[in-house]
Chains A and B, each alone.
Chain A
Amino acid sequence: MNNYNSKFGQFGGQYVPEILMSAVGELEDAYGKYRNDPTFNAELTDLYNNYAGRPSLLYYASNMTKDLGGAKIYFKREDLNHTGSHKINNVLGQALLAKKMGKKRLIAETGAGQHGVATATAAALFGLECEIFMGEVDTERQALNVYRMRLLGAKVNAVTSGTRTLKDAVNETMREWTRRVQDTHYLIGSAMGPHPFPTMVRDFQSVISREAKQQILEAEGKLPKAVIACIGGGSNAIGAFYHFIGDKGVELIGAEAAGKGIDTPHHAATIAHGRPGIFHGMKSIFCQDEDGQIAPCHSISAGLDYPGIGPEHAELHTQKRANYVGITDDEAVGAFEYLSRTEGIIPAIESAHAVAYAIKSAKKYKGGSIIVNISGRGDKDVASIARYKGENINE
């Protein structure tokens, strides 16, 4: 397998308090041992296929293709996975590893709640204790997922510090890890944090592009012109990109949350507005002020509402191997509705950011195909989209 360094170019590293370094080191050793272990990988594949429902479909969106009159549009249907998003790929990998490391308890941050639900699910499956940290704002906009996590046996803590969103949920989970590290694994939900998390999460999510590459070659006999994925921390995007990185003819496009507009203060467009910095265990790119204070961000999507991106994306951006584009709340909501009506697929509002870019750019790729990663299903977003449209419905 690929290398196991802590850095992606200048990005990555292990910037965590000394109190956590022994746990981070223990994890680095354990994952270093298991990542190329055939038994571990066979167990994980079995979980993917017989629990999560993989491989996920590569669906040809014929109505949308016809309607837009450009590239042939394919969807990688991560929304069809058990628990309804790509998050389960990473969660099953880390939970299996935690079990092998003898850990008794999983803790995790969550934004939209998809990662929290996936973690609570794996904890139930593996018989582990589970505690989820979620920004108070997000517990309100994703109340159903909070109940879902409780139903699965997890304790959910509403985080009331800072901006009360995903960034603060990460802070609080890190603090909790310092309080109880010995028997606890911090199951980070995105391709971020200190090494080995970005590499490990990338490896677990790369099943998306491994399958997609094979599937598109079967369907089209050639590689796509572009792969498009939404990006918050960047785990579904790095998973969708990974096996195409070496194929220079395939454009890799990350759709970040431009919120109310990239020229307003209300966005979460890290690549467009961020600068290199060091935060949450990694050197990467972050939205911040000139003093290095992390900037509050905004997105209609709780899952993209994060002021940084994973270090491998920072490096792909620096190397100009991937392009990152901004999609506003309005555009994402438009794509959410469009996909529901055109294909009968309700995507997660996060994934709708990628769909919105596909709608904009389909013509550009005429004569070829594009793959859009539908990272999750949109049931969780229905109530908040209704509210966005001025309709007050109860969940």
Chain B
Amino acid sequence: MNNKKFVSFITAGDPSLDKTKEFIEVLSEYSDFVEVGIPFSDPIAEGDVIEAANARALAGGTTTEKVFDMLKTVKLSPAKSCKLVILTYINPVFAYGYDKFGKRCKECGVHGLVIPDLPFEERAEVEGHLNKYGVHLITLLAPTSAERIKKLASVASGGFVYLVSSMGTTGVRTKFDSDLAKTVAQIKKSTKIPVCVGFGISTPEQAQNIRKIADGVIVGSAIVKIIAEHGNNSSAYIKEYIQTLVN
């Protein structure tokens, strides 16, 4: 699929950390980045599907430390020189300690961190600790960013720029923001980092359309839903589904 990026997301510990490792390795064959979610009790940016996965993972005893231990053992496929990214909320990172979190990311080969509830205005308290270990704090933008775009995009340092496709939380939807292409173009004026679009992308047609206007697509809820349905046996289904998106 040419040089467009593909970013996949799964929640760590759903259904188990051993299975998460297996799924990451499968996803790494097709992904430029695999985003691994460290579960949080109150994920306010998530829709039902990922929220439920967070709850299952926590009920199964998943902790930040155990996720790092698992990530350390992951063997990424060399196919796409895939990189690992962590997605979690600010409180688990704060509770773990910003500096210690950055250090563990480096030890476990984590390239960047997405924190949905850490906006530009508050990133300073975290960013220095991550940069010290060469870990990128990934920039998030939304359809409502408007005049904030230049300021926010210009600090993007690595990984990708995460552009939220439309209003609302994560989860399948049929329509995206009508100004998406314009927003992408505006972002690209301020950064050379690839702009990937996520939230609600699930079908091959949607992925195709997004690829026409952005540098890549991010798919999360659709994969998490497969895992919710097939549990331990999800690998084959994930593979089958991802192939429809990337080809």
Contacts and interface: CB of A to CB of B under 8 A. Distances in A.
Asked if chains A and B come from one complex, the reply is: yes
Interface of A: 6, 13-23, 161-162, 167-168, 171, 174-175, 178-181, 275-281, 286, 288, 290-294
B58 interface: yes
25 contacts: A15-B119, A17-B44, A17-B45, A17-B117, A18-B120, A19-B143, A20-B144, A21-B119, A21-B121, A21-B144, A22-B145, A22-B146, A162-B41, A167-B42, A168-B42, A171-B42, A175-B47, A178-B167, A181-B144, A278-B117, A279-B42, A290-B95, A291-B63, A291-B96, A292-B64
Contact of B95 (A162, A280, A292): A292
Contacts of A288: 91, 95
Interface of B: 40-42, 44-45, 47-48, 51, 55, 58, 63-64, 90-96, 116-122, 140-146, 148, 152, 164, 167-169
B234 to A, nearest CB: 24
Contact of B118 (A15, A178, A275): A15
A296 to B, nearest CB: 9
B146 A279 contact: no
Contacts of A275: 95
Contacts of A167: 42
Contacts of B152: 18
A111 B51 CA distance: 21
B117 A16 contact: yes
A171 B55 CA distance: 14
Contacts of A171: 42, 44
Given A21-B120, A181-B167, A291-B64, A278 B51 contact: no
Contacts of B95: 275, 277, 288, 290-292
Given A291-B64, A292-B95, A18 B169 contact: no
B12 to A, nearest CB: 12
Given A277-B91, A291-B92, A293-B92, A179 B142 contact: no
Contacts of B140: 17-18
Given A17-B116, A17-B119, A292 B142 contact: no
A175 B119 CA distance: 16
B122 A18 contact: no
Nearest to A168: B42
A275 B95 CA distance: 9
Given A18-B152, A21-B148, A292-B95, 9 more contacts: A15-B118, A15-B119, A16-B117, A18-B119, A18-B120, A162-B41, A168-B42, A291-B92, A294-B41
A18 B148 CA distance: 10
B23 to A, nearest CB: 22
Contacts of B48: 161
